[in-house]
Amino acid sequence: MLLPRILAPVRAAAKSPLIPSSRVLDVLRHPNGSAAHAPAPALSFVRHASHQAQGRANGAKDGPGKRLGAKKAGGEYVIPGNIIFRQRGTAWFPGENCKFGRDHCIFATESGYVRYYKDPLLHPKRQYIGVALEKTDKLPYPQNAARRRRLGFVAVQNEPQPKELDGQTVVADLQVGGATGSETSITATARNATTLTVGKGYAYRHANYDIGRVAERANVQVKEFVPGDRWAAWRKSQARKKRNEEAKKLRNAGKKSAKPKARKRRGP
Amino acid sequence: MAPVKPSARQFSACFRCVRGDASFNGAPRRFLSSSAAREELQTTSSTSPPPPPSSTPVDAAKDAAAPKETPEYMKQWGDLDPNAVELKRDERRLIRREGIQPIGSRRRRAIIARDSAAKAEQIPFEQLPYQCFQEARKVLLADREGKLKDIKTQITRIENLKAQDPAVSGGEAKKATRLRSMQNHLNDLIVLADINDPLVKKKFEDGEGDMNKPIYRYLADQKWRKWKRLVLEQRIEQFNLVPDLLPALDPIADVDLAFGRKNIPIGDFVDSAISENPPRLNVQTFERGQKLVTVVVVDADVPVPEKDSLTYRCHFIASNIPIAPDQTSIALSRIQQQSRKTENVDEQQVALSWSPPWAHKGAPYHRLAIFVLEQKDAKALNISEIKNEKRDGFILRSFVDRKQLKPIGVTLFRTKWDESMEGVMQRNGLEKEVDVQFKRKKIEPLPYKRRTERMR
C-alpha cells in the first residue's frame, strides 16, 4: 500500500525533464530524494554482527571419539574393579555392588553378573547399573529384605608360633630379650639366614634384618667410637676438610678462574 | 581453669548448660526423676514461690567431714557451697573433700553464687520488679486458666461419650475412634497447660522433672528427638540395621548402653575384655505406664567361610523386664544373676544367657545390635519356649513375628579382633577358633580375550 504523500517525490520526478521515465522510482530508493541530482557513491562494504570468519568458528565438531558407552553387557560376569560403563555426566547411576569412578564411570565392587535396571522406590527417574551376586538374581532386590552379602574372606589356620627360649619375652609382636651378649638377646637368637622372602609382587629378597647383619656374619671389625676423644675428632675433621678442598679443585679444574670480585666498600 | 569475671562466667555457664558436656552421642540423660507415681498436672508450680535454697546439706556435710581430719591442702580450697559451686574445679573439689554432689544445674548454681556475691535478695517471681515481665506472666496465667477450663470440659465430654449408647454415636468402631481422638486432644491440652510455666522449664533443665507427669515426658521426648534420635536414625541407616535385622524400625524409647561405668556411643568399638560381661541398659520411655520388654542382642556379621556368606548369632535374650518412664535401668548382669538364683523357670527372665561377643583375627568387624522389644499388651512370655531358640542362625525378624513383639528401642556396638580377644575366646570354650585367621580371598582376574572373541 503506497500512500499519496510517499508518491509525491515520484510525481515530481515524473514532471522534471532531467529524469527519464524508466528511472522515476529511483527517487524512492534514496532517502533524501535528491539522488537524482547528485548520485552518492554506494558503500561497498558493510559490517554486520561480529562472526569469526577464519578457522573452525564454532569449535571442533568432529574430534576423536571418547569410546564411551557400555563396556560390559547385561548378564556378563565381572570382577571387582571392572569398568562396566563409561559416560559423561550421570546417565547411569551405580546400584548394588557398584560405585562411581572419578569420571562418573561405573565399576564393580563385587564379582557377579551385570544388571541394568530401574529402582522406582529408590528414585523414580534414575537408571542403575548393578552387579548381582548370583546368576539367577534379579535387581533391584526386594526393598526390606536383608542385604545379600558375600564374605570375601577365607579361614586359614595360623602357623604354630616359634618356640620361645627361657627368659625371652615377646610383648605385642616385639621380641624383647636379655641384654646384648646374653644368650636370650635378640642378636643371639638364631635365625635362619638363608631364608628368602617374596618381595613386592615377584622378586625374592633377603629380609631387612638379614641384610642388616651381613657385616656381622662377614666378621667386619669396626673401630670403636670413643666419645670425648678430641684428638681423633680433630684429625678426622682436618682430613675431611682436606678432602673437600681437593674435590673442589678437581671440580674447578676445567673452568677459568674468575677474578675475585672487588668488594664494595661500605661507608664513606 | 582460670576464674572468669562473674558476668562472663555466668554467661559461659549458661552456654555449658545448653550443650551439656556432650559426647558425640548427645548429652547424658538428666531428665529423669522418680517420685510417687501420679499422673497429674503440675498444679502447685506456678502459684507458690520457689523455696529458698536451704543450707542444711552444707551443714550436714560439714558435720560429717569434720571428724575425718581433712588434710591441710584441702582446707586451702576454702568454703565450697554445694548450692553455689559453679567452676568444674570447685565441683570436683566439693565431691572430693565433702563427699557430696553439687545441687541442681550449673546455671542455677552460677546464678545463686552471683546473687549471693552481690548480696541480692531472693525475690519470688510474683514480686520481681519488672513490669513487662509481670504483664507477660499475667497473660500466661490467663492462658493456663483457659486451658484448665478446656481440660475440665473435655473430661466431661469424654465421660458423656463413654456413657452414650454406641448405636447413637454411629457404631462401636466409630465411637472408639472418637474416644481416642478426644483423649489425644485431652493429652495435648494437659501438656499445653504447663508448657509455658517457667518453673517447669527450670525443673526440667535442672533434671528434677518427674517423669510420671506428662509435661516432663513431653519435654524429654522433644529433647531426645532434637539430637539423640537423629544420631540414632543415622546409625541405623548407615550400619544397615534396618534391612539386615528388621524390615522397619521406628524407635520411640531412648536407649543408653554402658559396660560397667563406661558409656558406649552408638556403634562404637568395644574392647572384648570389656564386653565379656553383660552391659547395662538405660531405657527411657516417653509413654505413660509400665511396659514389659524383651531384650535381644544379635550379632549381624557372623562369617560362614564354607558358604562365603554371613549369618546371625544371638548373644542374649531376656524377657518380661518391666520398664516405665521412671524405671529405666536394665542391668543385664543383675538380671542374669537373679535368673541363675531362681529355680522356677517361669520366674526367670533370662532365656539365653550372655555369651561374650567375639570375632576372628582378620575378619571384618561384627555389629552387635541390642533391641528392646515391647511385648504385646504387657503380657509375659513363656521363658521355657524362648530357651529353645537356637543361637546360631538366629533370625530376629521371625522371632519378632512369632512372639508378637514391637521394637521400641535399639542401640549398637561393634567388636573386632583385639589383644584381649584370645583370652576371652579361651575362657568361653572357643580354643579352636583362636588359631583360625581370616584372609582376603584372592579374586582370579578375567582371562584376556580379544575384542572379536568377546563379541562372540
In a domain, A186, yes or no: yes
Domain count, chain B: 3
Lowest average pLDDT, out of A32-46, A167-181, B204-218, goes to A167-181
- Out of A81, A104, A132, pick the residue that ends a domain: A132
Closest residue on chain B to A146 (Cα): B244
d(CA A212, nearest CA chain B) in Å: 30
Which residues form the domain of A78? 69-132
Contacts of B248 in chain A (CB under 8 A): 144
Closest residue on chain A to B244 (Cα): A146
From the list B240, B243, B273, the residue with the least C-alpha distance to B259 is B273
Please identify among residues 358-397 of chain B the ones whose CB lies closer than 8 Å to any CB of chain A. Answer: 360-364
pLDDT value at A38 more than 70: no
Lowest average pLDDT, out of A7-16, A155-164, B30-39, B389-398, goes to B30-39
Mean pLDDT, residues A77-90? 96
Out of B242, B439, B443, the one facing A80 most closely (by C-beta) is: B443
In a domain, A49, yes or no: no
Contacts of B244 in chain A (CB under 8 A): 146-147
Closest residue on chain B to A111 (Cα): B443
- Out of B82, B99, B124, pick the residue that ends a domain: B124
| B62 and B132 together in one domain | no
| B114 and B139 together in one domain | no
d(CA B244, nearest CA chain A) in Å: 4
d(CA A127, nearest CA chain B) in Å: 22
Question: Which segments of chain A does DSSP mark as H helices, in order?
Answer: 8-15, 26-29, 208-212, 214-217, 230-252
| B199 and B237 together in one domain | no
In a domain, A248, yes or no: no
In a domain, B172, yes or no: yes
Q: Is B437 part of the contact surface with chain A (CB cutoff 8 Å)? A: yes
d(CA B387, nearest CA chain A) in Å: 25
| Residue B302: predicted pLDDT | 96
Out of B245, B435, B438, the one facing A153 most closely (by C-beta) is: B438
In a domain, B233, yes or no: yes
Cβ contact, residue pair B310, A77, below 8 Å: no
Contacts of B242 in chain A (CB under 8 A): 144
Are residues A199 and A206 in contact, defined by beta-carbon separation less than 8 angstroms? Answer: no
Residues 6+ apart with CB under 8 A from B111: B10
Cβ contact, residue pair A154, B360, below 8 Å: no
Out of B244, B436, B444, the one facing A157 most closely (by C-beta) is: B436
Q: Is B305 part of the contact surface with chain A (CB cutoff 8 Å)? A: yes
Q: Write the CATH number for B257.
A: 3.90.280.10
- Please tell me the distance from the alpha carbon of residue B7 to that of residue B111, in angstroms, as a whole number: 10
| Residue B65: predicted pLDDT | 44
| B27 and B167 together in one domain | no
- Out of B100, B124, B148, pick the residue that ends a domain: B124
Contacts of B299 in chain A (CB under 8 A): none
What is the band of A185 on the pLDDT scale with cuts at 50, 70, 90?
low
| B300 and B426 together in one domain | yes
In a domain, A10, yes or no: no
| B344 and B269 together in one domain | yes
In a domain, B445, yes or no: no
Cβ contact, residue pair B303, A77, below 8 Å: no
Are residues B217 and B66 in contact, defined by beta-carbon separation less than 8 angstroms? Answer: no
| Residue B405: predicted pLDDT | 96
| Residue A196: predicted pLDDT | 74
Question: What does the block give as the cell for B166?
Answer: 454406641
Q: Is B243 part of the contact surface with chain A (CB cutoff 8 Å)? A: yes
Of the residues A149, A154, A159, A161, the best mutation for testing chain B's interface (the one with the most B CB atoms within 10 Å of its CB) is A154
Cβ contact, residue pair A79, B360, below 8 Å: no
Element (DSSP H or E) covering residue B422 = helix B421-427
Q: At what angle do helices B214-226 and B228-238 cross, to 10 degrees?
A: 50
Q: Is B43 part of the contact surface with chain A (CB cutoff 8 Å)? A: no
Q: Is B186 part of the contact surface with chain A (CB cutoff 8 Å)? A: no
In a domain, B455, yes or no: no
Contacts of A152 in chain B (CB under 8 A): 308, 440-441
| Residue B55: predicted pLDDT | 41
| B44 and B137 together in one domain | no
| Residue A182: predicted pLDDT | 63
Cβ contact, residue pair A147, B243, below 8 Å: yes
Cβ contact, residue pair B243, A144, below 8 Å: yes
Mean pLDDT, residues A157-168? 65
| B289 and B429 together in one domain | yes
| Residue B50: predicted pLDDT | 40
pLDDT value at A3 more than 90: no
d(CA A190, nearest CA chain B) in Å: 25
Lowest average pLDDT, out of A49-58, A215-224, B39-48, B212-221, goes to B39-48
Are residues B386 and B317 in contact, defined by beta-carbon separation less than 8 angstroms? Answer: yes
Of the residues A153, A158, A159, A173, the best mutation for testing chain B's interface (the one with the most B CB atoms within 10 Å of its CB) is A153
Cβ contact, residue pair B247, A144, below 8 Å: yes
Which residues form the domain of B77? 6-12+21-124
Out of A144, A153, A157, the one facing B248 most closely (by C-beta) is: A144
Lowest average pLDDT, out of A39-43, A112-116, B281-285, B293-297, goes to A39-43
| B378 and B231 together in one domain | yes
In a domain, A222, yes or no: no
DSSP 8-state secondary structure symbol assigned to residue B288? S
d(CA A162, nearest CA chain B) in Å: 14
Range list of β-strands (E), chain A: 69-70, 77-78, 83-86, 93-94, 98-100, 106-108, 112-118, 127-132, 153-157, 169-171, 174-176, 196-198, 204-206
Q: Is B398 part of the contact surface with chain A (CB cutoff 8 Å)? A: no
| Residue B56: predicted pLDDT | 40
Cβ contact, residue pair A149, B446, below 8 Å: no
- Please tell me the distance from the alpha carbon of residue A155 to that of residue B363, in angstroms, as a whole number: 9
- Please tell me the distance from the alpha carbon of residue A19 to that of residue B312, in angstroms, as a whole number: 109
Cβ contact, residue pair B445, A146, below 8 Å: no
pTM, entire model: 0.67
**B422-425 CB contacts, 8 Å cutoff, 24+ apart:** B423/B273, B424/B272, B424/B273, B424/B276, B424/B356, B424/B358, B425/B358
Are residues B281 and B255 in contact, defined by beta-carbon separation less than 8 angstroms? Answer: yes
Q: Write the CATH number for A83.
A: 2.40.50.100
Residue type, B368: L
Distances, alpha carbon A217 to alpha carbons A3, A182, A208, A220, A222, in Å? 120, 18, 14, 8, 13
From the list B192, B240, B148, B203, the residue with the least C-alpha distance to B32 is B203
- Mean pLDDT by runs of 10 across the 456 residues of chain B is 45 40 45 44 43 41 54 87 89 89 86 83 76 90 96 96 89 93 96 92 87 96 96 96 95 96 94 95 95 96 95 96 95 94 90 96 96 95 94 96 96 95 94 93 84 62
Cβ contact, residue pair A153, B436, below 8 Å: no
- Please tell me the distance from the alpha carbon of residue B424 to that of residue B372, in angstroms, as a whole number: 26
| B160 and B30 together in one domain | no
pLDDT value at A213 more than 60: yes
- Out of B124, B139, B166, pick the residue that ends a domain: B124
Cβ contact, residue pair B360, A155, below 8 Å: yes
Contacts of B437 in chain A (CB under 8 A): 155-158
- Please tell me the distance from the alpha carbon of residue B167 to that of residue B250, in angstroms, as a whole number: 37
Residues in A whose CB is inside 8 Å of some CB of B read 77-80, 82, 111, 143-147, 149-158, 172
In a domain, B430, yes or no: yes
| B163 and B195 together in one domain | yes
| B215 and B295 together in one domain | no
| Residue B39: predicted pLDDT | 45
Out of B305, B419, B446, the one facing A153 most closely (by C-beta) is: B305
Domain count, chain A: 2
In a domain, A97, yes or no: yes
In a domain, B75, yes or no: yes
d(CA A132, nearest CA chain B) in Å: 14
In a domain, A63, yes or no: no
Is A152 strand, coil or helix? coil
Cβ contact, residue pair B435, A79, below 8 Å: no
pLDDT value at A201 more than 90: no
Are residues B419 and B387 in contact, defined by beta-carbon separation less than 8 angstroms? Answer: no
From the list B433, B261, B437, B242, the residue with the least C-alpha distance to B356 is B433
Out of B245, B419, B443, the one facing A111 most closely (by C-beta) is: B443
A vs B: CB pairs below 8 A? 68
